């Protein structure tokens, strides 16, 4: 029933305003094409967000390691200063 009404309305629209109806059909096709283009983009955005999260994790680990290396370096330097046999007592 609804499909029959839609066909009737489309038929009337084609007869009453053919150029306007043609533009609406092209617009509908363009909207469909745009929706098809958005799907791969949303997948790409999700992949990039996952990659970004992974890179943030790696950066945090590198910063943690750098902080540990810095602490060990300071400890070694302090130990060398305090236990240096060449230092005069």
pLDDT tens digits, residue range 28-48?
A: 766 666 666 667 777 888 899
Note the pLDDT of residue 4.
83
How many domains are contained in the chain? 1
Report if residue 24 sits inside a domain.
yes
Task: Note down the domain range covering 51.
Answer: 2-82
Q: Cα(86)–Cα(74) distance, rounded to whole angstroms?
A: 20
Report if residue 89 sits inside a domain.
no
What pTM does this model have?
0.48
Report if residue 31 sits inside a domain.
yes
| 13 CB-near residues (< 8 Å, 6+ apart) | 20, 21, 24
Report if residue 87 sits inside a domain.
no
Report if residue 7 sits inside a domain.
yes
């Amino acid at each position: 029933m609804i499909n029959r009404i839609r066909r009737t309305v489309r038929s009337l629209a084609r007869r009453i305003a053919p150029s306007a109806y043609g533009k609406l059909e092209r617009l509908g096709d363009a909207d469909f094409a745009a929706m098809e283009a958005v799907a791969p983009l949303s997948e790409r955005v999700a992949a990039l967000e996952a990659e970004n999260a992974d890179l943030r994790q790696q950066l945090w680990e590198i910063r943690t390691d750098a902080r540990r290396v810095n602490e060990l370096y300071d400890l070694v330097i302090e130990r060398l200063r305090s236990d240096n046999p060449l230092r005069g007592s």
